Amino acid sequence: MAGLVQFRIKKLLAYSSISHIGFLLLALVGGSQQSVQAFLFYLSQYSLLQVNFFFIVVTIGHYLQNKGMTSNLLDREHSPFQFISQLKGYFYHNPVLSISFAITLLSLAGIPPLLGFFAKQLVLSAALNQGFYFLTLVAILTSVISAVYYLNVIKVIFFNKPEFTVSSADKITSYPSSTLTITISVLTLINVLFILYPNI
């Protein structure tokens, strides 16, 4: 619930992590083979999504710093990307990275048919099979609440107007280095391509 009123991206991520750790613990509470499999799968996909999330945040921060958009931050030396409001209209600056960020956030929220949905489905199925109906209901409710603040970040990126105009030259030079590009691309593609091969 506290995550709904957060305006700092890192605090939002912290509250998000609490929810995901809850899912991991829910997977372990059953103690069955299905529970262990659900735990390992959830931990794997969550790790991939978090790594991708951090890489994207670092990339966006680097872009904001290069464009001089961090001058109004009191502690800009520690991090150039601190507030969700800094993402206003970021889609107009870098559409490819914005789409990758949106896919990662939607998967963290457990929106079907992305990787995060299958992970949450496995955990909830394992809990239901063990008879933990109340815990499963709580997990579903917290998942819905967390989806709200993920979708809010996506709204800011795609539907809010940017605070300054972006020229074509800025768009061309706003793409990250090849190493970051390849890493983010591979992690995002793993998330998306899982839709085609969910049986793995």
The structure's pTM equals: 0.85
- Taking a C-beta distance cutoff of 8 angstroms, is the pair 142, 150 a contact? no
* Residue listed under structure tokens 């605090």: 11
Q: What letter would DSSP give residue 3?
A: G
CA distance 22 to 18: 6
The CA-based dihedral angle spanning residues 94, 97, 102, 108, taken in that order and rounded to the nearest 10 degrees: -150
Tokens in use for 93? 């600056």
Produce one character per residue of 47-63: b if its CB has 16 or more CB atoms within 10 Å, e if not: ebbbebbebbbbbbbbb
pLDDT digits (tens), the chain, 200 positions: 777 777 788 888 888 888 899 999 998 887 788 899 999 999 999 999 999 998 988 888 877 777 665 555 555 556 667 778 878 888 888 888 899 999 999 999 988 888 889 999 999 999 999 889 999 999 999 889 888 888 999 999 898 877 666 555 555 455 556 778 888 888 888 888 877 776 66
Report helix angle 133-159 to 115-129, nearest 10: 170
